[in-house]
Structure 1
Amino acid sequence: MDNTEDFTLSDEEEEITADTVLKTLQTAWQNERLAPEILPHCNDMVECMLGQIQHMERNINKLPKTDLRACIHKMELSRIKFIICNYLKIRLNKIEKYCIPIINEEKQRIESGTNYLTPAEYKYAQEYLLNMESHLKSVVLNKVPSNMQAFDMGKMAVYPNLHSHVFLKAKESVNGVVLEDLYGDQDEEIDLEEGSQHILQYKPIADLVKNGKVHLI
Protein backbone atom coordinates (compact mmCIF):
# COMPACT_ATOMS: atom_id res chain seq x y z
CA MET A 1 0.00 0.00 0.00
CA ASP A 2 1.44 3.34 -1.03
CA ASN A 3 0.84 6.09 1.53
CA THR A 4 2.63 8.84 -0.34
CA GLU A 5 1.52 11.31 -2.96
CA ASP A 6 2.86 14.42 -4.64
CA PHE A 7 1.78 17.94 -3.70
CA THR A 8 1.86 21.22 -5.57
CA LEU A 9 2.58 24.32 -3.52
CA SER A 10 0.49 27.17 -4.95
CA ASP A 11 3.16 29.85 -4.50
CA GLU A 12 5.94 27.91 -6.18
CA GLU A 13 3.95 25.63 -8.49
CA GLU A 14 6.46 22.92 -7.72
CA GLU A 15 5.60 19.29 -7.08
CA ILE A 16 7.17 17.80 -3.97
CA THR A 17 6.78 14.41 -2.33
CA ALA A 18 5.08 13.79 0.99
CA ASP A 19 8.40 12.59 2.40
CA THR A 20 10.04 15.93 1.50
CA VAL A 21 7.13 17.82 3.09
CA LEU A 22 7.46 15.80 6.30
CA LYS A 23 11.23 16.32 6.50
CA THR A 24 10.79 20.07 5.94
CA LEU A 25 8.09 20.22 8.60
CA GLN A 26 10.25 18.26 11.05
CA THR A 27 13.08 20.77 10.57
CA ALA A 28 10.67 23.69 11.03
CA TRP A 29 9.34 22.08 14.21
CA GLN A 30 12.84 21.50 15.59
CA ASN A 31 13.93 25.06 14.77
CA GLU A 32 10.77 26.48 16.34
CA ARG A 33 11.31 24.46 19.52
CA LEU A 34 14.89 25.66 19.93
CA ALA A 35 14.78 29.25 18.63
CA PRO A 36 14.10 31.94 21.24
CA GLU A 37 11.94 33.98 18.81
CA ILE A 38 9.00 33.03 16.63
CA LEU A 39 10.06 31.99 13.12
CA PRO A 40 8.33 32.42 9.74
CA HIS A 41 5.37 30.06 9.55
CA CYS A 42 5.33 26.90 7.42
CA ASN A 43 1.58 26.82 6.90
CA ASP A 44 1.85 25.41 3.36
CA MET A 45 3.74 22.41 4.73
CA VAL A 46 1.21 21.94 7.54
CA GLU A 47 -1.70 22.03 5.09
CA CYS A 48 0.04 19.55 2.77
CA MET A 49 0.74 17.19 5.65
CA LEU A 50 -2.85 17.37 6.90
CA GLY A 51 -3.94 16.30 3.42
CA GLN A 52 -1.44 13.44 3.54
CA ILE A 53 -2.85 12.32 6.90
CA GLN A 54 -6.33 12.03 5.38
CA HIS A 55 -4.88 10.05 2.46
CA MET A 56 -3.09 7.67 4.84
CA GLU A 57 -6.18 7.21 7.02
CA ARG A 58 -8.26 6.22 3.99
CA ASN A 59 -5.66 3.63 2.99
CA ILE A 60 -5.39 2.26 6.52
CA ASN A 61 -9.17 1.79 6.69
CA LYS A 62 -8.95 -0.45 3.63
CA LEU A 63 -6.64 -2.89 5.45
CA PRO A 64 -7.86 -5.77 7.61
CA LYS A 65 -7.63 -4.95 11.32
CA THR A 66 -5.27 -7.90 11.79
CA ASP A 67 -2.84 -6.63 9.14
CA LEU A 68 0.47 -5.63 10.75
CA ARG A 69 0.86 -2.80 8.24
CA ALA A 70 -2.18 -1.06 9.69
CA CYS A 71 -0.53 -0.95 13.12
CA ILE A 72 2.73 0.40 11.67
CA HIS A 73 0.99 3.09 9.64
CA LYS A 74 -1.13 4.13 12.64
CA MET A 75 2.05 4.61 14.67
CA GLU A 76 3.51 6.76 11.89
CA LEU A 77 0.28 8.78 11.75
CA SER A 78 0.44 9.41 15.49
CA ARG A 79 4.01 10.66 15.14
CA ILE A 80 3.09 13.04 12.31
CA LYS A 81 0.07 14.36 14.21
CA PHE A 82 2.24 14.97 17.27
CA ILE A 83 4.77 16.98 15.24
CA ILE A 84 2.05 19.17 13.72
CA CYS A 85 0.21 19.73 17.01
CA ASN A 86 3.39 20.46 18.95
CA TYR A 87 4.67 22.80 16.24
CA LEU A 88 1.46 24.84 16.35
CA LYS A 89 1.35 24.75 20.16
CA ILE A 90 4.91 26.09 20.46
CA ARG A 91 4.06 28.97 18.13
CA LEU A 92 0.95 29.86 20.14
CA ASN A 93 2.97 29.76 23.37
CA LYS A 94 5.47 32.21 21.86
CA ILE A 95 2.67 34.46 20.64
CA GLU A 96 1.21 34.59 24.15
CA LYS A 97 4.57 35.14 25.84
CA TYR A 98 5.94 37.76 23.41
CA CYS A 99 2.58 39.10 22.24
CA ILE A 100 3.38 42.84 22.21
CA PRO A 101 6.70 42.78 20.29
CA ILE A 102 5.39 40.11 17.91
CA ILE A 103 2.37 42.23 16.96
CA ASN A 104 4.48 45.39 16.56
CA GLU A 105 7.01 43.60 14.37
CA GLU A 106 4.34 41.76 12.40
CA LYS A 107 2.63 45.04 11.45
CA GLN A 108 5.86 46.10 9.73
CA ARG A 109 6.31 42.71 8.09
CA ILE A 110 2.79 42.73 6.66
CA GLU A 111 3.52 46.04 4.95
CA SER A 112 6.61 44.55 3.33
CA GLY A 113 5.00 41.17 2.59
CA THR A 114 7.38 39.21 4.83
CA ASN A 115 4.93 38.22 7.56
CA TYR A 116 5.93 35.49 10.02
CA LEU A 117 2.41 34.71 11.27
CA THR A 118 -0.51 33.14 9.46
CA PRO A 119 -3.67 35.31 9.30
CA ALA A 120 -5.21 33.10 12.01
CA GLU A 121 -2.15 33.50 14.27
CA TYR A 122 -2.11 37.27 13.78
CA LYS A 123 -5.80 37.49 14.65
CA TYR A 124 -5.20 35.33 17.73
CA ALA A 125 -2.32 37.57 18.83
CA GLN A 126 -4.44 40.71 18.50
CA GLU A 127 -7.35 39.17 20.40
CA TYR A 128 -5.02 37.87 23.11
CA LEU A 129 -3.54 41.34 23.61
CA LEU A 130 -7.00 42.95 23.75
CA ASN A 131 -8.18 40.38 26.30
CA MET A 132 -5.08 40.88 28.42
CA GLU A 133 -5.50 44.65 28.36
CA SER A 134 -9.21 44.36 29.18
CA HIS A 135 -8.44 42.03 32.09
CA LEU A 136 -5.88 44.42 33.54
CA LYS A 137 -8.26 47.37 33.32
CA SER A 138 -11.36 45.63 34.67
CA VAL A 139 -9.84 43.38 37.33
CA VAL A 140 -6.41 44.63 38.39
CA LEU A 141 -6.50 48.42 37.99
CA ASN A 142 -9.94 48.77 39.56
CA LYS A 143 -8.42 47.64 42.84
CA VAL A 144 -5.77 50.37 43.02
CA PRO A 145 -6.17 54.12 43.68
CA SER A 146 -7.34 56.20 40.71
CA ASN A 147 -4.05 58.13 40.55
CA MET A 148 -2.26 54.81 39.91
CA GLN A 149 -4.60 53.41 37.25
CA ALA A 150 -2.83 54.88 34.24
CA PHE A 151 -0.43 52.44 32.60
CA ASP A 152 1.46 51.95 29.38
CA MET A 153 0.78 48.51 27.86
CA GLY A 154 4.07 48.73 25.99
CA LYS A 155 6.00 48.66 29.26
CA MET A 156 4.62 45.20 29.92
CA ALA A 157 6.26 43.80 26.79
CA VAL A 158 8.39 40.68 27.19
CA TYR A 159 11.10 40.18 24.57
CA PRO A 160 12.82 36.93 23.53
CA ASN A 161 16.46 36.62 24.53
CA LEU A 162 18.21 36.69 21.16
CA HIS A 163 21.59 36.47 22.88
CA SER A 164 20.86 33.01 24.28
CA HIS A 165 23.10 30.23 22.98
CA VAL A 166 21.88 27.54 20.61
CA PHE A 167 23.34 24.34 19.19
CA LEU A 168 23.32 24.34 15.38
CA LYS A 169 24.49 22.41 12.34
CA ALA A 170 25.47 24.07 9.06
CA LYS A 171 23.60 22.66 6.05
CA GLU A 172 25.99 24.50 3.72
CA SER A 173 29.18 26.51 4.03
CA VAL A 174 28.68 30.09 5.25
CA ASN A 175 31.49 32.65 5.41
CA GLY A 176 31.79 35.78 7.48
CA VAL A 177 29.42 35.20 10.38
CA VAL A 178 30.02 38.07 12.81
CA LEU A 179 29.84 37.19 16.50
CA GLU A 180 29.09 40.31 18.53
CA ASP A 181 31.15 40.97 21.66
CA LEU A 182 28.53 42.01 24.23
CA TYR A 183 31.12 43.26 26.71
CA GLY A 184 33.43 45.20 24.42
CA ASP A 185 34.27 45.88 20.80
CA GLN A 186 36.17 42.69 20.02
CA ASP A 187 33.71 41.23 17.51
CA GLU A 188 34.78 37.95 15.94
CA GLU A 189 34.18 36.70 12.42
CA ILE A 190 33.96 32.97 11.74
CA ASP A 191 33.21 30.67 8.82
CA LEU A 192 30.81 27.74 9.08
CA GLU A 193 31.74 24.65 7.09
CA GLU A 194 29.04 22.41 5.66
CA GLY A 195 28.13 19.73 8.22
CA SER A 196 29.96 21.45 11.09
CA GLN A 197 28.28 21.85 14.47
CA HIS A 198 28.57 24.85 16.77
CA ILE A 199 27.26 26.42 19.96
CA LEU A 200 26.71 30.11 19.21
CA GLN A 201 24.55 33.02 20.23
CA TYR A 202 21.28 32.93 18.35
CA LYS A 203 21.24 36.54 17.09
CA PRO A 204 24.18 36.29 14.62
CA ILE A 205 22.75 33.15 13.01
CA ALA A 206 19.02 34.04 13.18
CA ASP A 207 18.80 34.85 9.46
CA LEU A 208 20.71 31.67 8.60
CA VAL A 209 18.09 29.62 10.46
CA LYS A 210 15.28 31.39 8.61
CA ASN A 211 16.79 30.91 5.15
CA GLY A 212 17.67 27.28 5.82
CA LYS A 213 21.47 27.53 5.71
CA VAL A 214 21.72 26.16 9.25
CA HIS A 215 19.29 24.30 11.45
CA LEU A 216 19.06 24.01 15.22
CA ILE A 217 19.71 20.68 16.93
Structure 2
Amino acid sequence: MAEEQEGSDAGSEEVLLTPAQLIRSLEQAWMNEKFAPELLESKSEVVECVVEQLEHMEENLKRAKGGDLKVSIHRMEVERIRYVLSSYLRCRLRKIEKFFPHVLEKEKTRAEGDPSILSPEEFAFAKEYMANTETHFRNVALKHMPPNLQKVDLLKAVTKPNLDSFVFLRVKERQENILVEPETDEQREYVIDLDEDSQHLIRYKTIAPLVASGAVQLI
Protein backbone atom coordinates (compact mmCIF):
# COMPACT_ATOMS: atom_id res chain seq x y z
CA MET A 1 0.00 0.00 0.00
CA ALA A 2 1.38 3.38 -0.97
CA GLU A 3 1.57 6.12 1.60
CA GLU A 4 1.01 9.82 0.96
CA GLN A 5 1.63 12.44 3.62
CA GLU A 6 -0.26 15.71 3.39
CA GLY A 7 1.25 18.88 4.84
CA SER A 8 4.70 19.48 6.27
CA ASP A 9 3.84 19.58 9.99
CA ALA A 10 4.79 16.64 12.15
CA GLY A 11 1.18 16.30 13.23
CA SER A 12 -0.22 16.21 9.69
CA GLU A 13 -2.79 13.53 9.01
CA GLU A 14 -1.48 10.68 6.88
CA VAL A 15 -3.59 9.39 4.03
CA LEU A 16 -3.01 5.82 2.88
CA LEU A 17 -3.56 5.17 -0.81
CA THR A 18 -3.75 1.87 -2.64
CA PRO A 19 -1.54 1.59 -5.76
CA ALA A 20 -4.61 2.15 -7.95
CA GLN A 21 -5.61 5.26 -5.99
CA LEU A 22 -2.04 6.52 -6.17
CA ILE A 23 -1.93 6.24 -9.96
CA ARG A 24 -5.33 7.91 -10.18
CA SER A 25 -4.00 10.80 -8.07
CA LEU A 26 -1.09 11.19 -10.48
CA GLU A 27 -3.41 11.15 -13.49
CA GLN A 28 -5.66 13.80 -11.94
CA ALA A 29 -2.65 16.00 -11.11
CA TRP A 30 -1.41 15.52 -14.70
CA MET A 31 -4.71 16.54 -16.27
CA ASN A 32 -5.06 19.58 -14.01
CA GLU A 33 -1.49 20.67 -14.76
CA LYS A 34 -1.98 20.24 -18.51
CA PHE A 35 -5.06 22.44 -18.67
CA ALA A 36 -4.51 25.00 -15.90
CA PRO A 37 -2.94 28.25 -17.15
CA GLU A 38 -0.81 28.60 -13.99
CA LEU A 39 1.60 26.33 -12.14
CA LEU A 40 -0.34 24.33 -9.57
CA GLU A 41 0.65 23.02 -6.15
CA SER A 42 3.52 20.55 -6.25
CA LYS A 43 2.47 16.91 -5.83
CA SER A 44 5.99 15.77 -4.95
CA GLU A 45 4.74 13.19 -2.43
CA VAL A 46 2.61 11.55 -5.11
CA VAL A 47 5.53 11.62 -7.57
CA GLU A 48 7.87 9.99 -5.06
CA CYS A 49 5.34 7.27 -4.25
CA VAL A 50 4.70 6.58 -7.94
CA VAL A 51 8.46 6.25 -8.58
CA GLU A 52 8.67 3.71 -5.74
CA GLN A 53 5.64 1.88 -7.11
CA LEU A 54 7.22 1.73 -10.59
CA GLU A 55 10.43 0.28 -9.15
CA HIS A 56 8.39 -2.36 -7.32
CA MET A 57 6.44 -3.23 -10.47
CA GLU A 58 9.63 -3.53 -12.53
CA GLU A 59 11.19 -5.83 -9.95
CA ASN A 60 8.10 -8.06 -10.20
CA LEU A 61 8.37 -8.07 -14.00
CA LYS A 62 12.01 -9.20 -13.82
CA ARG A 63 10.98 -12.22 -11.76
CA ALA A 64 8.03 -13.08 -14.01
CA LYS A 65 8.20 -15.69 -16.75
CA GLY A 66 8.76 -14.39 -20.25
CA GLY A 67 6.07 -14.90 -22.88
CA ASP A 68 3.21 -14.62 -20.40
CA LEU A 69 0.39 -12.39 -21.67
CA LYS A 70 -0.08 -10.95 -18.19
CA VAL A 71 3.58 -9.89 -18.15
CA SER A 72 3.13 -8.02 -21.44
CA ILE A 73 0.04 -6.27 -20.10
CA HIS A 74 1.82 -5.27 -16.89
CA ARG A 75 4.80 -4.02 -18.89
CA MET A 76 2.48 -1.85 -21.00
CA GLU A 77 0.95 -0.47 -17.81
CA VAL A 78 4.41 0.39 -16.46
CA GLU A 79 5.21 2.27 -19.68
CA ARG A 80 1.87 4.08 -19.54
CA ILE A 81 2.50 5.23 -15.97
CA ARG A 82 6.03 6.32 -16.89
CA TYR A 83 4.61 8.40 -19.75
CA VAL A 84 2.07 10.13 -17.47
CA LEU A 85 4.74 10.82 -14.85
CA SER A 86 7.27 12.24 -17.32
CA SER A 87 4.59 14.29 -19.11
CA TYR A 88 3.44 15.75 -15.78
CA LEU A 89 6.99 16.75 -14.80
CA ARG A 90 7.77 18.19 -18.26
CA CYS A 91 4.59 20.25 -18.18
CA ARG A 92 5.58 21.74 -14.85
CA LEU A 93 9.10 22.55 -16.06
CA ARG A 94 7.71 24.30 -19.15
CA LYS A 95 5.51 26.48 -16.94
CA ILE A 96 8.43 27.30 -14.64
CA GLU A 97 10.54 28.35 -17.64
CA LYS A 98 7.70 30.42 -19.06
CA PHE A 99 6.57 32.13 -15.84
CA PHE A 100 9.67 31.84 -13.61
CA PRO A 101 9.60 35.36 -12.03
CA HIS A 102 5.92 35.05 -11.15
CA VAL A 103 6.37 31.49 -9.87
CA LEU A 104 9.21 32.57 -7.57
CA GLU A 105 7.29 35.64 -6.43
CA LYS A 106 4.24 33.54 -5.57
CA GLU A 107 6.43 31.13 -3.65
CA LYS A 108 8.12 34.01 -1.84
CA THR A 109 4.85 35.65 -0.78
CA ARG A 110 2.78 32.56 0.10
CA ALA A 111 1.41 32.50 3.62
CA GLU A 112 3.01 30.29 6.22
CA GLY A 113 1.30 26.91 6.22
CA ASP A 114 0.07 27.20 2.63
CA PRO A 115 1.24 24.37 0.34
CA SER A 116 4.24 25.11 -1.86
CA ILE A 117 3.76 25.26 -5.61
CA LEU A 118 7.35 24.05 -6.09
CA SER A 119 9.16 20.93 -5.04
CA PRO A 120 12.68 21.53 -3.62
CA GLU A 121 14.17 20.45 -6.95
CA GLU A 122 11.85 22.74 -8.92
CA PHE A 123 12.63 25.64 -6.59
CA ALA A 124 16.37 25.17 -7.18
CA PHE A 125 15.76 24.94 -10.94
CA ALA A 126 13.63 28.12 -10.98
CA LYS A 127 16.24 30.11 -9.04
CA GLU A 128 19.03 28.90 -11.32
CA TYR A 129 16.94 29.64 -14.42
CA MET A 130 16.27 33.18 -13.20
CA ALA A 131 19.94 33.78 -12.36
CA ASN A 132 21.02 32.52 -15.80
CA THR A 133 18.39 34.70 -17.51
CA GLU A 134 19.56 37.80 -15.64
CA THR A 135 23.19 37.03 -16.51
CA HIS A 136 22.28 36.54 -20.17
CA PHE A 137 20.37 39.84 -20.33
CA ARG A 138 23.25 41.65 -18.65
CA ASN A 139 25.97 40.21 -20.90
CA VAL A 140 24.06 40.52 -24.16
CA ALA A 141 22.31 43.87 -23.81
CA LEU A 142 22.17 45.66 -20.48
CA LYS A 143 25.90 46.30 -20.09
CA HIS A 144 25.86 48.19 -23.40
CA MET A 145 23.09 50.53 -22.26
CA PRO A 146 23.26 53.74 -20.16
CA PRO A 147 23.65 53.09 -16.39
CA ASN A 148 20.08 54.19 -15.64
CA LEU A 149 18.77 51.51 -18.04
CA GLN A 150 20.93 48.60 -16.89
CA LYS A 151 18.22 47.04 -14.76
CA VAL A 152 15.24 44.98 -15.89
CA ASP A 153 12.15 44.08 -13.90
CA LEU A 154 11.53 40.47 -14.88
CA LEU A 155 8.09 40.51 -13.27
CA LYS A 156 7.10 43.12 -15.86
CA ALA A 157 9.23 41.76 -18.70
CA VAL A 158 8.00 38.15 -18.52
CA THR A 159 4.39 37.31 -19.29
CA LYS A 160 2.23 36.16 -16.40
CA PRO A 161 -0.27 33.27 -16.44
CA ASN A 162 -3.58 34.22 -18.03
CA LEU A 163 -6.04 33.42 -15.25
CA ASP A 164 -8.89 34.80 -17.38
CA SER A 165 -8.59 31.96 -19.87
CA PHE A 166 -11.45 29.46 -20.07
CA VAL A 167 -11.14 25.81 -19.07
CA PHE A 168 -13.30 22.70 -19.27
CA LEU A 169 -14.00 20.94 -16.00
CA ARG A 170 -15.94 18.09 -14.47
CA VAL A 171 -17.43 18.57 -11.00
CA LYS A 172 -16.42 15.92 -8.46
CA GLU A 173 -18.27 17.44 -5.49
CA ARG A 174 -21.36 19.63 -5.71
CA GLN A 175 -20.55 23.31 -5.26
CA GLU A 176 -23.03 26.06 -4.42
CA ASN A 177 -23.00 29.85 -4.75
CA ILE A 178 -19.99 30.14 -7.06
CA LEU A 179 -19.55 33.83 -7.92
CA VAL A 180 -19.03 34.43 -11.64
CA GLU A 181 -17.61 37.76 -12.73
CA PRO A 182 -19.18 39.56 -15.74
CA GLU A 183 -17.50 39.21 -19.13
CA THR A 184 -18.55 42.66 -20.34
CA ASP A 185 -19.33 46.01 -18.73
CA GLU A 186 -23.00 45.54 -19.55
CA GLN A 187 -23.25 42.32 -17.54
CA ARG A 188 -23.46 41.91 -13.79
CA GLU A 189 -21.83 39.26 -11.63
CA TYR A 190 -24.02 36.29 -10.81
CA VAL A 191 -23.98 33.10 -8.74
CA ILE A 192 -24.20 29.53 -10.01
CA ASP A 193 -24.35 26.03 -8.53
CA LEU A 194 -22.20 23.22 -9.92
CA ASP A 195 -23.85 19.78 -9.74
CA GLU A 196 -21.78 16.67 -9.17
CA ASP A 197 -20.60 15.01 -12.43
CA SER A 198 -21.69 18.03 -14.49
CA GLN A 199 -19.27 19.53 -17.01
CA HIS A 200 -18.68 23.21 -17.67
CA LEU A 201 -16.64 25.70 -19.65
CA ILE A 202 -15.75 28.53 -17.28
CA ARG A 203 -13.14 31.17 -16.58
CA TYR A 204 -10.21 29.59 -14.75
CA LYS A 205 -9.85 32.16 -11.97
CA THR A 206 -13.48 31.57 -10.99
CA ILE A 207 -12.79 27.94 -10.11
CA ALA A 208 -9.06 28.02 -9.30
CA PRO A 209 -9.70 27.37 -5.57
CA LEU A 210 -11.88 24.39 -6.49
CA VAL A 211 -9.08 22.93 -8.62
CA ALA A 212 -6.69 23.34 -5.70
CA SER A 213 -9.11 21.65 -3.28
CA GLY A 214 -9.86 18.78 -5.68
CA ALA A 215 -13.56 19.61 -5.89
CA VAL A 216 -13.36 19.87 -9.69
CA GLN A 217 -11.20 18.16 -12.29
CA LEU A 218 -9.93 19.93 -15.42
CA ILE A 219 -10.54 17.97 -18.62
Which secondary structure state, in structure 2, belongs to the residue aligned with residue 98 of structure 1? helix
Identity of aligned residues (%): 39
1:94 counterpart = 2:95: yes
Aligned length: 212
For residues 204 and 212 of structure 1, the distance between their equivalents in structure 2, rounded to whole angstroms, comes to 14
Give the structure 2 partner of residue 3 of structure 1.
Answer: none
- Higher mean alpha-carbon deviation, 177-186 vs 94-103, is at 177-186
- Higher mean alpha-carbon deviation, 182-191 vs 105-114, is at 105-114
1:108 alignment partner AA: T
Give the structure 2 partner of residue 39 of structure 1.
Answer: 40
Give the structure 2 partner of residue 138 of structure 1.
Answer: 139
1:8 counterpart = 2:6: no
For residues 13 and 187 of structure 1, the distance between their equivalents in structure 2, rounded to whole angstroms, comes to 40
For residues 104 and 158 of structure 2, the distance between their equivalents in structure 1, rounded to whole angstroms, comes to 11
Question: Please, which runs of 5 or more residues in structure 1 have no aligned partner?
Answer: 1-5
Which secondary structure state, in structure 1, belongs to the residue aligned with residue 75 of structure 2? helix
For residues 15 and 199 of structure 2, the distance between their equivalents in structure 1, rounded to whole angstroms, comes to 31
Compute the TM-score of the two structures, normalised by the length of structure 2. Answer: 0.91
For residues 152 and 54 of structure 2, the distance between their equivalents in structure 1, rounded to whole angstroms, comes to 48
Give the structure 2 partner of residue 195 of structure 1.
Answer: 197
For residues 82 and 18 of structure 1, the distance between their equivalents in structure 2, rounded to whole angstroms, comes to 17
Change (3 A) 1:194 1:146: same
C-alpha deviation, 1:54, in angstroms: 0.7
Alignment map for 1:164-183 (pairs within 5 Å): 164-183=165-184
For residues 107 and 147 of structure 1, the distance between their equivalents in structure 2, rounded to whole angstroms, comes to 27
For residues 121 and 115 of structure 2, the distance between their equivalents in structure 1, rounded to whole angstroms, comes to 16
Change (3 A) 1:63 1:193: same
Q: Give the alignment partner of residue 208 of structure 1, picking from 207, 210, 215.
A: 210
Compute the TM-score of the two structures, normalised by the length of structure 1. Answer: 0.91
For residues 58 and 44 of structure 1, the distance between their equivalents in structure 2, rounded to whole angstroms, comes to 21
C-alpha deviation, 1:202, in angstroms: 0.4
1:103 counterpart = 2:104: yes
| Contact 1:175 1:191 (8 Å CA) reproduced | yes
For residues 181 and 74 of structure 1, the distance between their equivalents in structure 2, rounded to whole angstroms, comes to 50
CA RMSD of aligned residues (A): 1.7
Give the structure 2 partner of residue 114 of structure 1.
Answer: 115
Deviations 1:41-65 (A, max 9, x none): 1111111111111111111111222
- Higher mean alpha-carbon deviation, 109-118 vs 45-54, is at 109-118
